[in-house]
Structure 1
């Protein structure tokens, strides 16, 4: 699956469009207060039984929890850091019986590699240099069938979480 965020580099408030027919797959929205983000919601724009868009994933920024299909877990329970000072990897796993992903930031964006197969299962390409003239490239999400099968919403939440943490780190280092 390849999908494009329609809101430039803003992954907190966007629609995720399938590239093959430009249909909306997910809608991502974030509640904010004057003190910062509170919740980021991922809504399925095409629920199986029809009707209104259904919330399939939530990031609670204050409590540092993820909610996938109604099941809530703390970030500390689904993410682990490897030993070693220079290792930038973060390992994410939603539950026992699911795949564990090594999430790393590369020059083009974020990459999720399955730790069992060593195959890249998902990529979030984030344009990091804004253009003064011309059209800015959108954020693009690519997932393999393996990732789509069990961990689609989980990986979308992980990519959003990691990208926002990266942007916060860059902004604080730049003196914002």
Structure 2
């Protein structure tokens, strides 16, 4: 009887979870509120405009495989713009090789990228969106070049188009 009581107590102890262990993940869709962006289109309009990969990343917050972006090794001077709406997001002079397999920048064009928090993979990350259409771009981390901002904007290349300098 004593052994049963010990096992029951241990099971009860392990099953208990305090509130401090829970992470709440509320997206705009779940909370019933939706962020408002200047460019608004229906899902059908986005599907018609974007390639399958662009739609997956920009509208469904997907991630492309590392090393697959056409912009990963681009050295041209110019501006990276949102593939959905053409909004300028990153300047080529802020791009650096992070070794992660995704195009990386140490800063965005001020005011042109919006941020939110996600817990999709079990821990807090800062998600980046186009501030004009709300398209998912990637995430920002604090392991970038220390000599500049210390930030690494890890961006899906399929979320970007490139406009070379004239």
Scaled by the length of structure 1, the TM-score of the pair is 0.26
Which structure features the higher share of helix residues? 2
Q: Which has the larger radius of gyration?
A: 2
